[in-house]
Structure 1
Amino acid sequence: MRTVRPLRFLGATALATLVMITFAPVAAGAGPAPEPSAPRTEVSVSSVDLDGPAVSTVKVTVKNTGPQRMRSLKVSFAGPVGWAVQPALTSVPGTFGVGATTAAEFRVQVPGKREGFTLRTFTATATYAGGDGAGSATATRTETNGVPLANLAAAYNNVGITDEGETGPGDYDGEGNSFSAQKLAAAGLEPSGRVEALGAELEWPGVAPGAKDNVAGAGQAIALSGRGGKLVFLGSGVTGGATGTATVYYTDGSSTSGSFGFPNWSFDPADAHGATLVASTDGRNRPDGYGNAGIAYRVFAHSVALDATKQVEFVVLPSNRDVHIFDMAVAS
């Protein structure tokens, strides 16, 4: 084991999110209006040196912003699953007046770096008596290694569109089937064509039929810039369970998460999972050629909410390969 390194960033970007718990008195029946809730206890986590293998020292700071003295303070700390932390829980002796700050230190066994882009989340929880009266407060910190993929096209891992004269490369659904490029064009979806959906301006993949043209979700981190009220996804599902959570990270280090889903590209109701139908094609390409005429194979749009006051930096896609995404864009 190497000597503990000073806390610093080595090609890593720190994303810190402070989560604070509030306590508000509950009024019982008629009577005077309840007093305003006390200021919230603040918990923060220092940076974590991810240049492993090494032992990194992490400091958790707790500030008493409540109207009472804080006592019986205990602080717990946890890293990613399987990472050793010593101690996992520590008691902080003494009491702390209003505005006082104290800290607890933890040692984290950091494994060797992994290839590519990684997110590592750390969580600290303080429990106490007094203070703001809530009894507990929690903070999380997410550190990153590497950089997200430059755009969605860099993450393409599936062939969902083929020419009717050469259907062999297609495998949208894991059974060798794919959209017909000719039928998509008839429905208004042509390579590099503009697609408007849910207030977003999207683009249909600008690749030749038979090339990788969409992303089957596997938790990929994709760079994306923009500011707006929602993030719109263009795609469809290949089972009835094509749902998942997308997490959006902003340039200020905060993040929001939202769940969405797509109907199966055929058979599911067009509004399943709250999606919106964008285009419908007749039939599909099978390994032995075009077939299933008279059955609709479809593309949908869905969205997750964003904090419109913040600039988007990157998006982590759902970890569900049944969710297929052709494009995504920020919309107002």
Structure 2
Amino acid sequence: MISYRPEQDFLSPPVSLTVTPSALEAGKAVTLTATLTNTAAIALRGTVLYLAVDDSAQQDGLGDLAPGRSVTRTWRTRLADDAEGRIVFTAHALFDVHPHGSDCTRATSTALLPYRSLPAAFDNAGISSDDARTVANIDGSNSSLSAEALASAGLTPGATVTYEGVPFTWPDTRPGSKDNVISYGQTVLLSGSGSRLSFLGTSTWGEGKGDGKVVYADGTEQAFSVAVPDWYGANSSAAVVLPYRHTSSGRDDNPVSLFTFGVDLAAGKELRSVVLPKVSDGIQEGVAALHIFALTITPIN
């Protein structure tokens, strides 16, 4: 049998991973199936395979794996009752390649479960204080909203503000904490009914355009589109205009704007969830992104 030579490059053998069912739910069973194939010219000694769901894992000793041999292992487990958001599944194999060295190979898969609330989905820190401007980054170039400028407009942590007759609860967060959702198609659970689902937010690096949908309790869906203006400048359609912002070089005394937008709802229908508009995959300098700070269901008058 060919032996490992330290001066040679060692290409890790592949491990595949499948996760079923394709539509996952919190509190429900999930099955991970991994196949490790030794495509190397040497045996993999003392091989151990780990199958993991986030921080929960199962360990399986596979022993020695000869060249050309494949081994498949399956783990059936259950997602936590409160599971939400991005769930990471991993197949990770460890093995010895010679008496004094080891190697590994890995495969991952991710799923995005519904979030139980908008604050649970917050994934970006967009607000910093005037004396600590670098703790937030709303646009990928280290710019941010000023907590003090927001407070001057009544937008203090946890405050209720009303724009065009619609009340919103501003995020109850400290500067530098995650306080908004970068809208990329996440599902947020809802309950109740009303005449309109409204959002409070803004866009960076241009107009935030994308399609989302409302899902009702009876299973029907309602598509909608948004086109939210860029935050820079005093926009005449803005819900609130702030006198300045923070940038990587300091205070910028050009105004910035926040906006309200939303979708009219079907009369008399109970809500189940909203799929946020798919605008971007995150923040990146020069790429438009939509930031949502609050949402509210306007009751039927």
Which TM bucket (shorter chain)? 0.5 to 0.7
Partner of 1:327: 294
Q: Is the 8 A contact 2:212 2:277 kept in 1?
A: yes
Query: Matched residues in 1 for 2:277 and 2:114: separation?
Result: 15
Query: Matched residues in 2 for 1:247 and 1:265: separation?
Result: 24
Partner of 1:308: 267
Please give the residue correspondences for 1:186-225 in structure 2 after superposition, counting only pairs within 5 Å: 186-225=152-191
Partner of 1:251: 217
Identity %: 32
Partner of 2:242: 281
Question: CA, structure 1 residues 326+162, in 2 after alignment: closer, same or farther (shift >3 Å)?
Answer: same
Q: Is the 8 A contact 1:240 1:268 kept in 2?
A: no
Q: CA deviation at 1:269?
A: 4.1
- Aligned residue pairs total 200
Query: Matched residues in 1 for 2:228 and 2:159: separation?
Result: 21
SS at match of 1:185: helix
One-letter code of the match for 1:307?
A
Give structure 1 regions of 4+ aligned residues with deviation exceeding 2 angstroms: 9-12, 50-53, 112-118, 197-200, 267-271
Two-structure CA RMSD over aligned residues (Å): 3.2
- Alignment of 1:317 with 2:283, yes or no, is no
How high is the TM-score relative to the length of structure 2?
Answer: 0.59
Q: Is the 8 A contact 2:124 2:178 kept in 1?
A: yes
Q: CA deviation at 1:288?
A: 3.9
Query: Matched residues in 1 for 2:24 and 2:243: separation?
Result: 52
Please give the residue correspondences for 1:149-298 in structure 2 after superposition, counting only pairs within 5 Å: 149-267=115-233, 269-271=235-237, 277-289=238-250, 291-293=251-253, 295-298=254-257
For structure 1, which runs of at least 5 residues remain unmatched after alignment?
Answer: 1-8, 13-49, 54-111, 119-144, 272-276
Deviations 1:78-137 (A, max 9, x none): xxxxxxxxxxxxxxxxxxxxxxxxxxxxxxxxxx9999669xxxxxxxxxxxxxxxxxxx
Deviations 1:10-34 (A, max 9, x none): 859xxxxxxxxxxxxxxxxxxxxxx
One-letter code of the match for 2:294?
D
One-letter code of the match for 1:311?
E
Question: CA, structure 1 residues 231+10, in 2 after alignment: closer, same or farther (shift >3 Å)?
Answer: closer
How high is the TM-score relative to the length of structure 1?
Answer: 0.54
One-letter code of the match for 1:306?
L
Please give the residue correspondences for 1:45-56 in structure 2 after superposition, counting only pairs within 5 Å: none
SS at match of 1:154: helix
For structure 2, which runs of at least 5 residues remain unmatched after alignment?
Answer: 1-22, 34-75, 87-110, 281-288
Query: Matched residues in 2 for 1:221 and 1:183: separation?
Result: 31
Q: Is the 8 A contact 2:226 2:261 kept in 1?
A: yes
Q: CA deviation at 1:151?
A: 0.5
Q: Is the 8 A contact 1:225 1:313 kept in 2?
A: yes
